[in-house]
Amino acid sequence: WQGSLYLFAKVMESALSADMINEITIVGGILILSSGLSILGIKKYKTLNLLPSLIIPPVVIFVMKAFGLGA
């Protein structure tokens, strides 16, 4: 498993920019926060329902680059 993850990361290395990694990290942090709040019983979130949100940053970055928006 670990080797296959490494190979997948090496293949995707050229496709991921620093901006995209930062945006995905932000979304991942929010998902971890919602999981923690659910585990502690503070607020119940269905974290698995939020996993599709990881698709949004690559789409937004692609659209911004395609139309020349942003830096």
Ordered by start, the domain boundaries in the chain are 16-66
Best CA proximity match to 64, nearest among 1, 10, 19: 19
* pLDDT (0 to 100) of residue 64: 87
* pLDDT (0 to 100) of residue 27: 93
- Local mean pLDDT, 10-residue blocks, the chain (71 residues): 88 83 92 94 90 89 84 57
Structure tokens at 70: 């942003």
pTM metric for this prediction: 0.73
Q: Specify whether the CB–CB gap between 47 and 34 falls below 8 A.
A: yes
* pLDDT (0 to 100) of residue 68: 82
